[in-house]
Amino acid sequence: MSNAKIGLIGLGTMGAALALNIADKGFDIAVWNRTTERTKAFHDGAGDLASRITPTKTIQDLVNAIAKPRAIILMVPAGQAVDDQIAALRPLLDDDDLIIDAGNANFHDTNRRARDAGDLPFLGIGVSGGEEGARFGPSIMGGGKRQYWDRVAPILTAISAKYKGTPCATWMGEEGAGHFVKAVHNGIEYADMQMIAEVYGMMRDGLGMDHASIGDVFAKWDKGPLQSYLVEISGKVAKAIDPDTNKPMLDVIVDAAGQKGTGRWTVIEAQHLAAPIPAIEAAVVARNLSSQRETRAAGEALFGAAPHHIPHDTVSLETLESALMAGKILCYAQGFGMIGKASEEFGWSLPLPQIAKVWRAGCIIRSAMLDDMATALAEDANRNLMFAPRFADTLKKTHSALRQVVAQGALHGIAMPALASGLAYFDAMRTARGTANMIQGQRDFFGAHGFARMDGGEGHHGPWGS
Ligand code: NDP
């Protein structure tokens, strides 16, 4: 039998959900998993969709079960597993069969795999939305040759999330462009989550609020301009009760955040590109710091406990909401700025407005604000988002709240690395005469690096030696 429309390898959390989604949208799919028991369990649990799914026991069976020209999705851990699966598949495939890596690959690996594939069809696509997104509609960021994207676009757009009817699946560009955009998405996600965690810290430690009340605040914010999946789930997380202890879940969860590396990749790449993304960097650093629990406990014993309560009249809940709004705009401005820089550097022509559009639904950072961002980027993709009139107006109204929150955090020992970095970025970006003249003076003093003069000309040197 060779009539499945598409194949999929890797029936873990994401692969299983994606396969069900594909079958649900009416496409016959053949699946294979390294551990055969998982394939059987998956098929047994597929319910009404089982008739659209062909389970296979070997890769050869999988290949045989797919209609030509074939398309096969890999949903296995990023790295060696992807290379191994490509190596196992290629000898069994025809020259026009397409391999699609839909995991969280480092885009440099996707660039390499696309080049190694030569004329053999290969796509690297970023899929966001976690298990639920994969099952009911993820946001999909495609990369590779356009004609290969077009071949599978009907399936990928059908299974993707829809924002007011518009599919959240777009081709981003050649080679690793899709995985690059997915990595920046994850970097923004880190910063968005960290900023929410910081305002949570201000409510819990600074204002002494209990978790139920904090949950109510997030639920309220989710109905306003901060409406977003992350604010919504933060409210639910804050309100949840541990069935074993009857305490708030947040009281029983260890305060050390994990990561799989995509945030770190974003930060490393930003350094290569000289793209300023301080809020995202701060969020990655905050996760690293969070894992140093013993050192933090020793620090508290040595220096005394922070934080201290802050007077309620200095930071109201409205001030916190405005601060989070300002922080979020600045974080997205940085993320889109980095994408713009990469677009130039790699010659990708990354479609910034479309990127904002595919993030409007399905993915973890989906939010009301992204629709406005898509509009602002469509007006002028090269302009920093913080200068787009609608966001400039909001920043004019909210940056003093951000300043107030960061200042009170600093005064009372409540660490706010991402919000503070966002504020520093804002202040730097609205300071026409900065302080790098001092850096240039120092560099010329010790290294004769030369500097440009305000009254004209490059390569000047100071009178330091005299
Ligand atoms: P899981 O750990 O749930 O599943 C991994 C799957 O890959 C399993 O089917 C496993 O098979 C298979 N596998 C593991 N190693 C190999 C190998 N060396 N060769 C062949 N198959 C292998 O992972 P996820 O589904 O969570 O993630 C899959 C990909 O999707 C990753 O790249 C991940 O980063 C990405 N992703 C994950 C998201 C999430 O929220 N979980 C969101 C977006 C992307 P077996 O049953 O034999 O162990």
* Measured distance CA(451)–CA(460) in Å, rounded: 5
Residues 6+ apart with CB under 8 A from 23: 29, 46, 49, 52, 53
Cα-atom radius of gyration of the chain, to the nearest Å?
25
Site to probe by mutation for ligand 1, drawn from 8, 14, 18, 363 as the one with most ligand atoms within 8 Å of Cβ, is: 14
Looking at the predicted structure, is the pLDDT value of residue 446 above 90? Answer: yes
Rounded mean pLDDT, 118-128:
96
* Measured distance CA(188)–CA(213) in Å, rounded: 27
Phi, psi at 9, each rounded to 5°: -115, 125
Nearest alpha carbon to residue 109 among 92, 122, 120, 94: 122
Instruction: Write down the pLDDT at residue 349.
Output: 92
Residue pLDDT, tens place only, 126-145: 999 999 999 999 999 999 99
pLDDT-based confidence at residue 2 (cuts at 50, 70, 90):
low
Residue pLDDT, tens place only, 35-51: 999 999 999 999 999 99
Whole-number percent of the chain with pLDDT over 90:
95
Establish whether 458 is a catalytic residue: no
Instruction: Write down the pLDDT at residue 466.
Output: 59
Determine which one of 5, 145, 175, 182 is catalytic.
182
Nearest alpha carbon to residue 464 among 363, 2, 455, 450: 450
- If you measure from the C-alpha of residue 15 to the centroid of ligand 1, how many angstroms do you get, rounded to a whole number? 7
The pair of three-digit structure tokens given for residue 34, joined into one six-digit string: 């390294």
Establish whether 223 is a catalytic residue: no
Strand 53-56 with 29-32, pairing: parallel
Ligand 1 atom with the shortest distance to the CA of 80: 18
CB of 79 sitting under 6 A from ligand 1: no
* Measured distance CA(230)–CA(364) in Å, rounded: 7
Looking at the predicted structure, is the pLDDT value of residue 78 above 90? Answer: yes
Instruction: Fill in the DSSP letter of residue 172.
Output: E
Residues 6+ apart with CB under 8 A from 314: 404, 408
How distant is the alpha carbon of residue 370 from its chain centre? 13
Instruction: Write down the pLDDT at residue 313.
Output: 82
Looking at the predicted structure, is the pLDDT value of residue 312 above 80? Answer: no
Looking at the predicted structure, is the pLDDT value of residue 1 above 60? Answer: no
Q: DSSP E strands: which ranges in 102-210?
A: 122-128, 139-144, 162-163, 166-167, 169-173
Nearest alpha carbon to residue 53 among 25, 81, 75: 25
Rounded mean pLDDT, 375-390:
97
Amino acid identity of residue 110, one-letter, is T
Rounded mean pLDDT, 188-214:
97
Q: pTM for this one?
A: 0.95
Looking at the predicted structure, is the pLDDT value of residue 200 above 60? Answer: yes
The pair of three-digit structure tokens given for residue 174, joined into one six-digit string: 């050649």
CB of 422 sitting under 6 A from ligand 1: no
Rounded mean pLDDT, 432-447:
97
Residue pLDDT, tens place only, 221-263: 999 999 999 999 999 999 999 999 999 999 999 999 988 888 9
CB of 85 sitting under 6 A from ligand 1: yes
- If you measure from the C-alpha of residue 12 to the centroid of ligand 1, how many angstroms do you get, rounded to a whole number? 5
Looking at the predicted structure, is the pLDDT value of residue 361 above 80? Answer: yes
Determine which one of 189, 198, 281, 321 is catalytic.
189
- If you measure from the C-alpha of residue 42 to the centroid of ligand 1, how many angstroms do you get, rounded to a whole number? 14
User: What is the chain's mean pLDDT, rounded?
Assistant: 96
Q: CB–CB of 89/59 below 8 Å?
A: yes
Instruction: Write down the pLDDT at residue 259.
Output: 81
Looking at the predicted structure, is the pLDDT value of residue 216 above 80? Answer: yes
> Under the phi-then-psi rule, with left for phi > 0, alpha for psi from -120 to 50, and beta for the rest, what region is 144?
left
Looking at the predicted structure, is the pLDDT value of residue 301 above 80? Answer: yes
How wide is the angle at C-alpha 400 spanned by C-alphas 397 and 406, nearest 5°?
A: 140
Looking at the predicted structure, is the pLDDT value of residue 286 above 60? Answer: yes
Nearest alpha carbon to residue 354 among 125, 73, 134, 163: 163
CB of 103 sitting under 6 A from ligand 1: yes
